[in-house]
Amino acid sequence: MPDVLLGSNMRRNPAPETEERMNKAVRNHIALALMLALSLCLIGCGDKDGQKAAAKLPDLPQDRIATLKHIPKSQAIATTTVKRVSGPPPVPSPPPQCPQNAGEEDFDALVTYPITVCEPISIDLTDVAVLFIEGRGPTHKVANSQLPPDLQVKGANQSAAVIESSFLWRCRTDEGPWRGFLTSERQCIFSCAPLNTLELDNTPGLVVFQWYGDILNDHPSDFEFDGKPVLLGKSDHGDCHNP
């Protein structure tokens, strides 16, 4: 194998496969360094104007922060609310004779309820696959440090700790109205009151409410119906008093 003269020392050329491994390692190192620099830039320097604009927005209320969860396959976080009943209501003694048959009714409903979506500053609000009715811009901000640890933007290394703690998210809150599917199920046991389940189907996060009683008068105070629910169909399960 030929020798090459480097200064006053004689060294052998590395074998081709060794040289290739060395070049690959160098390329990987450069690529890793570029990715690290890019990630830090997205966190700290990607949208200076966005940071300044977000800083002027009012803070997102704490009760709304508590409802935020990750949107699947997205960098955004959004309102996720699931309030199901824990069990049947107390049974009066003696048990009542329910005046109606068992059965189920399905409704199309519109409700107003505050839904919030927050994105990192480096992400455009229009990138989220959610159409807000009013189509407005950001309405609130939330500091990264105010979010639960599993929702926070994480710094790539120790030098990003300050960025991580002071980083802002832009948030948009919309009241709707949101479309939902409502099921009212009346059974012959436990109580005469029907069990109502409402699930909103055009919100970014899962939103479900469940309650016993009248649809319009007994629903949770978290939301309001926008007009009367429209009956889609119903099924009769039979007279509760027949053997």
The tens digit of pLDDT for each residue in 137-174 reads: 788 999 988 999 899 877 644 445 555 556 788 899 99
Is position 143 within any domain? yes
- Check residue 6 and give its pLDDT: 39
**Helix or strand run (H / E) with residue 37:** helix 16-44
Q: Are residues 54 and 80 in the same domain?
A: yes
The whole-number pLDDT of residue 226 equals 96
Both 25 and 111 in a single domain? Answer: no
- CA angle 164–170–176, rounded 5-degree value: 145
- pLDDT confidence of residue 47: 55
Q: What residues make up the domain containing 32? A: 14-44
pLDDT for position 131:
42
Torsion of CA 211, 214, 218, 222, to 10 degrees: 60
Q: Are residues 85 and 205 in the same domain?
A: yes
Is residue 148 located within the same domain as residue 217? yes
Domain contains 3: no
**Which parts of the chain have pLDDT scores under 70?**
1-51, 90-100, 122-136, 155-166, 189-191, 239-243
**pTM strictly above 0.75:** no
Residue 2 lies in a domain: no
Domain contains 8:
no
Is 6 part of any domain? Answer: no
Provide the CB-side half-sphere exposure for 142 (13 A, CA).
27
Question: What residues are paired with 198 via a beta bridge?
Answer: 182, 209
Domains of the chain: total: 2
* 172 and 217 in a common domain: yes
What's the pLDDT at 220?
95
Rounded to 5 degrees, what are φ and ψ at 195?
-95, 120
| 57 in any annotated domain | yes
9: in domain = no
Same domain? For 23 and 133 the reply is no
pLDDT of residue 138: 87
- Domain-embedded: residue 239: yes
116 shares a domain with 213: yes
